[in-house]
Amino acid sequence: MGCDGGTIPRRDELVRTKKKPEQKDKVADLAAKWKLCAITQEPLRTPIMGCELGRLYNKESVLEFLIDRSKFENASGFAHIRGLKDVKELKLTDNPAYQKETAKKGDSYIDTQTSPYICPVVGLEMNGTYKFCFVWSCGCVMSERALKEIKSEICHKCGKPYSTDDMIVLNGTETDVDELRTNMEKRRELAKLAKKSKKAQKHKASDESQATEINGESSSKQPKVETASSSASSIGIPSTNGKLTNGFSDKKIKLPNKISDSKLKMTNGKQGDKAESIQKDSTATTVYKSIFTSSKKAKNQQSAHWVTYNPFYN
């Protein structure tokens, strides 16, 4: 029956205490983060991608996730991945001491801390015991210790410049994830502003080109000044030194310098007859010359000309 004096109960047998939460196995947790894909939980294989929150993915699983999100149960946790622009392919350094997994034996020792990748500067293994970061602009992966020991604004692997906001911690703590999320939102806002500015510049350029085309067409339609001056001289407006004195405007207009003798011929201070030059023209026909009074037939006849009325003959 018990409790008859033969046994001494302990306190935990009599008092109900609050149970402690189950603790995760640290080794298994690190292996899941650094050796498995965050979406499909499959082993990582090249090419390996990294998001702006510092998680690792297989490229195939990312493409499947973007094509059809309904296949994945935990799709809400990866809503920040909207396209391939939100993921960067990582440039990893291979570990020369890493040996691929072979057939396991019952009495063999399995080292779970080995990693296929290391830091290119310090040589630390990327197994989760040390913090690792990658540069968002170039995708190079390095340890945090290397960044602290060699402080510079140039990537140690590829030599490209970067800023502190571009550094993304891989599989960081909750505080690290919060900082990365704020940096991600800032980066996306700047990208939106850059797109808007580019669109505005394109609209301005198109408007300016249209305006220049319209101005070119209007200028081509406007009459030239020289043609206007020549028409003014043909009408008989008096001019002095290239200036028109018609009572309306005194603007300078270019006039033709030379006037052919066939068009204008002065004799004894009077304007000569244009028909005389026509009678001397070798290219004109006799029928055309007979129209004018300067022809021989018109001079011999006593009546008026058959084309025009000339009072000289009446």
User: What torsion, rounded to 10 degrees, do the Cα atoms 81, 84, 88, 90 define?
Assistant: 110
Residue 209 covered by a domain: no
Q: Specify the CATH number for the domain of residue 165.
A: 3.30.40
CA angle, 44 then 47 then 49, to 5°? 80
Q: State the DSSP code for 245.
A: -
For residues 177 and 249, state if they share a domain: no
For residues 313 and 173, state if they share a domain: no
Q: Where are the alpha helices (DSSP H) in 38-159?
A: 59-67, 144-149
Looking at 30-39, 149-158, 300-309, which range is the least confident one?
Answer: 300-309
What pLDDT does residue 262 have?
41
What does the pLDDT average to over 292-312?
A: 63
Token pair of 60 as six digits? 């195939």
For residues 185 and 307, state if they share a domain: no
What pLDDT does residue 65 have?
92
Q: If we measure between CA atoms, which residue out of 124, 104, 123, 125 comes closest to residue 113? A: 125
CA angle, 49 then 52 then 56, to 5°? 35
For residues 85 and 180, state if they share a domain: yes
Residue 158 covered by a domain: yes
- Number of domains present in the structure of the chain: 3
Residue 169 covered by a domain: yes
Q: Which among 203-212, 245-254, 300-309 has the top mean pLDDT?
A: 203-212
Please say whether the beta carbons of 40 and 49 come within 8 A: no
For residues 165 and 133, state if they share a domain: yes
For residues 140 and 272, state if they share a domain: no
Token pair of 297 as six digits? 């037939």
Domain that holds residue 301: 260-314
* Per-residue model confidence as pLDDT tens digits over 177-220: 999 999 899 988 988 898 888 888 888 887 777 777 777 665 55
Residue 4 covered by a domain: no
pTM of the model: 0.56
Task: Check pLDDT > 90 for residue 56.
Answer: yes
For residues 132 and 76, state if they share a domain: yes
Q: How many Cβ atoms from other residues are within 10 Å of residue 295's Cβ?
A: 18
Task: Check pLDDT > 50 for residue 225.
Answer: no
Please say whether the beta carbons of 120 and 142 come within 8 A: yes
296 by DSSP, 3-state: which?
A: helix
CA angle, 85 then 152 then 164, to 5°? 40
Residue 301 banded pLDDT, cuts 50, 70, 90: low
Owner of token pair 């055309």: 288
Residue 13 covered by a domain: no
Residue 197 covered by a domain: no
For residues 184 and 303, state if they share a domain: no
Token pair of 223 as six digits? 């009459």
For residues 165 and 252, state if they share a domain: no
What pLDDT does residue 110 have?
64
* Element holding 202 (H helix, E strand): helix 174-221
Q: How many Cβ atoms from other residues are within 10 Å of residue 71's Cβ?
A: 11
141 by DSSP, 3-state: which?
A: strand
High-pLDDT (> 70) share of the chain, %: 69
Beta bridge mates, 118: 93, 125
* Per-residue model confidence as pLDDT tens digits over 85-95: 999 999 999 98
Residue 304 covered by a domain: yes
Mean pLDDT of the chain: 75
Residue 259 banded pLDDT, cuts 50, 70, 90: very low
Q: How many Cβ atoms from other residues are within 10 Å of residue 77's Cβ?
A: 13
What pLDDT does residue 203 have?
81
For residues 178 and 116, state if they share a domain: yes
For residues 31 and 178, state if they share a domain: yes
For residues 235 and 87, state if they share a domain: no
